[in-house]
Amino acid sequence: LNHEFRTPLTYVTAYYEMLADNALQTENGRDYSEYLRGIQAGNVRLSRLVEDFIMVMELRSGEAQEKFYRQARPIEDMTLLLNTIVDERREEAASLNVQLDLDISPDLPPVFGNRRGIQNIFERILDNAIKFTAAYKKRSRETGHVTISATAVADELHIAIQDEGMGIPAYAQDNIFDLFVQHNRNSMEQQGAGIGLTVARGLAELHNGRIEVESCEGCGSAFTVILPVHTEDSGRFPGNDVTRNDRKQANILIVEDNPLQRTGLEDLLETYDGRYQFNIRTAVNGLEGLEQIGQTVPDLIISDIMMPQMDGYQFLQAVRENPKWQHIPFIFLTAKGEKQDEFEGFRRGVDEYIVKPYDSDDMIRFVTKQLDKHFHAQMVQAQTFNELKRSIINLITPEFRQPLDAVNESSQKLAQSLQKAETDQDLKQSLEGIYAGSLHLSRLIENMIALAELRTGETKTAFQMRAIPIPNLGALLHETCQLKMHDLRVQGWLIHCQFNDDLPPVFADTMTLFTAIQHLIELGTTYCQPTASRTISLLVEKTDEQTVSITIQFSTPLNEKHQQLFTELMTTEMPEWSEMSGSATKLLISKGYVALHNGRIQLTNDDGLSFIITLPAYQPAGADILP
């Protein structure tokens, strides 16, 4: 998803810059810079939205935690950092009639963290403060004020951003940091997607901090970011900085046959004073370990390999074979330190491999890292599948389409004007590049929406409302071929459609069925091996009294790589979102749409690629054919 979104965005930006570098006026004196600004504005907004969405996924998956541990350092110049963030926004705030007031101590204490992450937190909250203050003061035309203050309170650094916006009622404050949640959205234009505060809170928690909000309707809001002060005694890793009594309970199972090493590790974990409160249980071999898991499922397992009765490999296999235990992170702690031993451990499914003797700091780091990932996974699972997908659809539909519409509309206006004006060839090529990039992105997002709606069952509901008996499927497909003929000819393909006159009716929704066929044609024309003569044959025939088949046959085959990819996709249910590509979404959508019709798709790749769609014939008395 990351790559598929960024590629067309890169093209749009590059072609915009090419246009901007060329002459912006034609001989008739018409200024096209307005269209260019529209293109860029839509692109920038979409870019930021994609970046935010990726950040949310990284916070949920644990990737952000891993990056944090690698990049976190003491930040000694918090005063300078905050001043820089504010100064960079003064001009924009002034243009909205908002004044930024600073009340920051010149010698703020250091914090431990990622500089870009802390900057990200304050940029998001400050941008919101400016936006809402400007909107609330717009009617009165008064100058709005946003006050940024920072001070040390005991062993914490408090940075507050007070705005003069509309305020947030008490009932809405509890969930204002939740993903996609917004208060009073209709009162603001382009309020956003409801992601910013979710990201800000997630980044603050990475730093063992928190964000507090005080607000009331009509009197503005104050968001206070609270971060632990860094000292030499804090230790390198921020987990050792936690001083509040809100430590999360974590059950750890240690499986080790050597009593001295078992006790030593237990003592080390019990001295940990970070964000987790470890509850430790022990076992002397894999069999005892399984008994312990049967009583209480742990949040983490640390196990030796060489043990009597049941060794670590057998123990790991038994854990991974139980569906209820597969999610438990598993660490091998062993004296087997050869590279092939480590490789064998990871091959069998272990999450970390630590060789004895171990460094105490490294052990704590590995333990907290695996617990972070474990509890983040639990948080994601707590939000049901349909709720999460529904939220993604709600985000994509208005928020992605609006900037896409801006890109497409601006491109089309510019294209229409250029038809009547003489321009240099470079300008026309740049325009074509913008339109192609925006069109690519539009189709990609439409496909992602379609796939999400298949997952949530919305497409099935729509199918049941739209599907009707189709007595002339062959004729309808022939008309579709005629409409596609010109575009295919431009790409070097000729298409022929043939159908029998005695086709039985099928119960179908033409919208989804024709979309599935169109996607399959696009896949074939994109990935079949190029030849001098390229043809597509579309054959609709009665297989028997009970079924109708639609065969889409290409004159050239797929190469071995794409044949393997397509074959795997034909047999898989649904890969992860991060594994999606443009070809994967089209094929999976086609499978899903055909399945709505109680049909199936088969693929062959002998002399040429063929997709064979088999649909049941309509039975007037057989209402049970409805999916």
Tens digit of pLDDT for each residue in 345-354? 888 889 999 9
pLDDT category of residue 21 using cuts at 50, 70 and 90: low
pLDDT category of residue 464 using cuts at 50, 70 and 90: confident
**Is the pLDDT confidence value at 480 over 90?**
no
Give the best-scoring range by mean pLDDT among 93-102, 413-422, 425-434: 93-102
pLDDT category of residue 612 using cuts at 50, 70 and 90: very high
pLDDT reported for residue 529: 83
- Convert the pLDDT of each residue in 285-299 to its tens digit: 999 999 999 888 899
pLDDT reported for residue 610: 93
In the numeric block, which tokens belong to residue 483? Answer: 């409409």
Kindly list the distances between the CA atom of residue 458 and the CA atoms of 28, 236, 368, 400, 443, in Å, as whole numbers in the listed order: 50, 49, 40, 19, 19
**Is the pLDDT confidence value at 4 over 70?**
no
pLDDT reported for residue 239: 40
Q: How far apart are CA 143 and CA 141, in angstroms?
A: 7
CA atoms within 13 A on the CB side of 587: 27
Query: What is the rounded average pLDDT of the residues 356-378?
Result: 86
Peptide bond before residue 357 is cis, with ω within 30 degrees of 0: yes
Query: What is the rounded average pLDDT of the residues 24-48?
Result: 56
Of the listed ranges 22-36, 305-319, 352-366, 525-539, the least confidently predicted one is: 22-36
pLDDT reported for residue 432: 59
pLDDT category of residue 577 using cuts at 50, 70 and 90: very low
pLDDT reported for residue 45: 66
């901007």: which residue's tokens?
20
pLDDT reported for residue 35: 55
Query: What is the layout of strands, in order, in the sheet containing 221-228?
Result: 98-104, 144-153, 156-162, 221-228, 210-215
Query: What is the rounded average pLDDT of the residues 578-602?
Result: 81
Between 210 and 46, residue with greater pLDDT = 210
Query: What is the rounded average pLDDT of the residues 76-88?
Result: 91
Of the listed ranges 169-178, 519-528, 550-559, the least confidently predicted one is: 169-178
Query: What is the rounded average pLDDT of the residues 620-626?
Result: 48
What angle in degrees, to the nearest 10, is found between the helix axes of 360-382 and 63-71? Answer: 150
Query: What is the rounded average pLDDT of the residues 553-571?
Result: 87
Contact 345, 332 (CB under 8 A): yes
- Convert the pLDDT of each residue in 311-347 to its tens digit: 999 999 999 888 788 889 999 999 998 888 888 888 8
pLDDT reported for residue 161: 95
Task: Name all contacts of 281-285 with Cβ < 8 Å and 24+ positions apart.
Answer: 281/251, 281/252, 281/253, 281/254, 282/253, 282/254, 282/255, 282/256, 283/253, 283/254, 283/255, 284/255, 284/256, 284/257, 285/255, 285/257, 285/309, 285/310, 285/311, 285/315
Please give the share of the chain, as a percent, with pLDDT higher than 70: 72
Nearest to 51 by CA among 256, 199, 265: 199
Stated pTM of the model: 0.47
Query: What is the rounded average pLDDT of the residues 511-519?
Result: 91
- Convert the pLDDT of each residue in 55-72 to its tens digit: 776 776 667 777 787 788
pLDDT category of residue 570 using cuts at 50, 70 and 90: confident
Q: If you write DSSP's letter for every residue of 559-614 in order, what string do you get?
A: PHHHHHHHHHHHH-S---GGG--HHHHHHHHHHHHHHHTT-EEEEEESSSEEEEEE
The continuous run of DSSP H or E covering 282 comes out as: strand 276-283
Query: What is the rounded average pLDDT of the residues 376-395?
Result: 52
Query: What is the rounded average pLDDT of the residues 433-462?
Result: 70
pLDDT reported for residue 625: 40
**Is the pLDDT confidence value at 25 over 60?**
no
Query: What is the rounded average pLDDT of the residues 97-126?
Result: 91
Contacts (Cβ under 8 Å, ≥6 apart) of 411: 35, 39, 431, 434, 435, 438
Which pairing describes strands 600-605 and 609-616: parallel, antiparallel, or unpaired?
antiparallel
Nearest to 594 by CA among 525, 543, 535, 547: 547
pLDDT reported for residue 425: 53
**Is the pLDDT confidence value at 197 over 50?**
yes
Between 596 and 42, residue with greater pLDDT = 596
Nearest to 539 by CA among 554, 527, 524, 525: 554
Q: How far apart are CA 627 and CA 623, in angstroms?
A: 10
pLDDT category of residue 438 using cuts at 50, 70 and 90: low
**Is the pLDDT confidence value at 303 over 90?**
yes
Contacts (Cβ under 8 Å, ≥6 apart) of 592: 451, 454, 459
Q: If you write DSSP's letter for every residue of 364-422 in order, what string do you get?
A: HHHHHHHHHHHHHHHHHHHS-HHHHHHHHHHHIIIIIHHHHHHHHHHHHHHHHHHHTS-
Q: If you write DSSP's letter for every residue of 244-270 in order, what string do you get?
A: SS-PEEEEEEEE-S-HHHHHHHHHHHH
**Is the pLDDT confidence value at 185 over 90?**
no
Of the listed ranges 381-390, 428-437, 533-542, the least confidently predicted one is: 381-390
pLDDT reported for residue 530: 80
The phi, psi pair for 494, rounded to 5°, reads: -110, 135
- Convert the pLDDT of each residue in 232-256 to its tens digit: 765 444 343 333 345 778 999 999 9
- Convert the pLDDT of each residue in 130-175 to its tens digit: 988 998 888 778 899 999 999 998 889 999 999 998 888 877 777 7
pLDDT category of residue 579 using cuts at 50, 70 and 90: very low
pLDDT averaged over every residue in the chain: 78
pLDDT reported for residue 623: 44
Instruction: Delineate the domains of the chain, giving CATH numbers in brackets.
Output: 2-61+384-456 (no CATH), 73-234 (3.30.565.10), 245-369 (3.40.50.2300), 465-625 (3.30.565.10)
What angle in degrees, to the nearest 10, is found between the helix axes of 425-456 and 458-466? Answer: 90
